[in-house]
């Protein structure tokens, strides 16, 4: 049991690292004319890789949670409902926040951008993560990753019997099929493009429950990393490998990271509508590197505070509502799965 507890702590810590990395990347790169090229901006240049960390984590934690719950295909509808109830309330609040702040910012004195405008169609398509398929922009850039995750949830619930099958032949055939799709379909709007990252997480899940050990694990890891390298590049492959090894072999138990992990989903959602606007406002008064650093710190603090409020009043209740829906057995891997 302590091993499972350590694993969940490691997952939460990795989530915290990933969410903060993405937040730092956007706050140092998105606000126009904020930071010039230099050390500070360079420190955030690779923060976008936090998204890839999230994909590997999902590849591990969702099958693991289904395994712990004794899931079967008869409960597919409940599984999808659990995910919707778990994830959509913070997402919907962020949509409302984004639209409201967008209109208010355009009315603020000194606003120099184009008039803010969104259509009902654009907003409503967010309800099914469908914007990409209909050629409509996301209200916030990070929402595209939620669409990929939702495609994964729909798929993993159906494929779970094969993912967790005791037969290594069937699991190998599944991975070959998934790998072939990842190589053949390169459209970034679809799950297929990122399948090798999710499969890396699935491999960690297989190792954790004893479906693969020894040389079988290392050979599979090598092949999946090579697949990630081929489809997504060397940098993403290295991050995917590091994430899997952290899940499998490292116990990360840091209070600050665990706190960030607990609010990671909320931080991921609100740092754009809150943090970047704080930085944009502060940048009007920042004339030197020291004040720009201060503005960045204030933007990060504002993002974390907003994320904590979102977690406290929206995400945490949604977690409880989701946990009340059982998947055959009353067990779960993690309340934040």
Which pLDDT value is given to residue 329? Answer: 53
Which pLDDT value is given to residue 4? Answer: 66
Highest-confidence segment of 21-35, 169-183, 286-300, 315-329: 169-183
Which pLDDT value is given to residue 162? Answer: 97
Which pLDDT value is given to residue 242? Answer: 98
Q: For residue 313, is pLDDT > 80?
A: yes
Q: For residue 214, is pLDDT > 80?
A: yes
pTM: 0.94
Which pLDDT value is given to residue 336? Answer: 46
8 Å CB contact between 63 and 175: no
- Span 264-292, average pLDDT: 93
* Percentage with pLDDT > 90 across the chain: 82
- Three-state SS for 8-64 is HHHHHHHHHHHHHHHHHHHHHHCCCCCCCCCHHHHHCCCHHHHHHHHHHHHHHHHHH
- Span 202-225, average pLDDT: 97
Q: Compute the distance between CA of residue 186 and CA of residue 327 in angstroms, rounded to an integer.
A: 34
Provide the mean pLDDT of the chain: 92
Q: Where is pLDDT greater, at 82 or 284?
A: 82
């Amino acid at each position: 049991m302590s091993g499972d507890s350590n694993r969940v702590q490691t997952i939460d810590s990795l989530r915290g690292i990933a969410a903060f990395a993405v937040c730092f990347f956007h706050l140092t790169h998105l606000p126009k004319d904020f930071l010039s090229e230099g050390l500070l901006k360079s420190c955030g240049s690779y923060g976008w890789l936090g998204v890839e960390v999230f994909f590997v984590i999902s590849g591990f934690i969702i099958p693991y949670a289904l395994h712990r719950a004794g899931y079967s295909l008869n409960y597919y509808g409940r599984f999808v409902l659990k995910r919707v109830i778990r994830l959509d309330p913070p997402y919907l609040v962020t949509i409302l926040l984004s639209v409201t702040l967008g209109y208010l910012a355009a009315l603020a004195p000194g606003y120099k951008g184009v008039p803010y405008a969104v259509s009902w169609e654009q907003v409503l398509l967010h309800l099914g993560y469908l914007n990409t398929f209909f050629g409509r922009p996301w209200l916030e850039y990070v929402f595209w990753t939620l669409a990929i995750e939702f495609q994964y949830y729909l798929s993993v619930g159906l494929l779970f019997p094969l993912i967790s099958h005791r037969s290594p032949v069937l699991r190998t055939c599944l991975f070959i099929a998934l790998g072939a799709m990842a190589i053949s379909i390169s459209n970034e709007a679809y799950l297929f493009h990122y399948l090798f990252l999710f499969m890396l997480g699935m491999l960690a899940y297989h190792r954790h429950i004893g479906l693969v050990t020894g040389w079988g694990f290392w050979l599979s890891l090598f092949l999946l990393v090579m697949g990630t390298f081929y489809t997504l590049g060397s940098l993403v492959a290295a991050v995917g490998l590091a994430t899997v090894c952290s899940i499998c072999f490292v116990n990360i138990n840091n209070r600050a990271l665990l706190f960030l992990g607990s609010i990671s989903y909320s931080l991921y959602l609100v740092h754009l509508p809150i943090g970047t606007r704080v930085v944009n406002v502060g940048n009007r008064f920042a004339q030197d590197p020291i004040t720009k650093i201060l503005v960045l710190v204030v933007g990060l603090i504002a993002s974390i505070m907003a994320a904590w409020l979102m977690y406290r009043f929206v995400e945490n209740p949604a977690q409880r509502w989701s946990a009340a829906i059982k998947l055959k057995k009353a067990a779960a891997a993690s309340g934040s799965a």
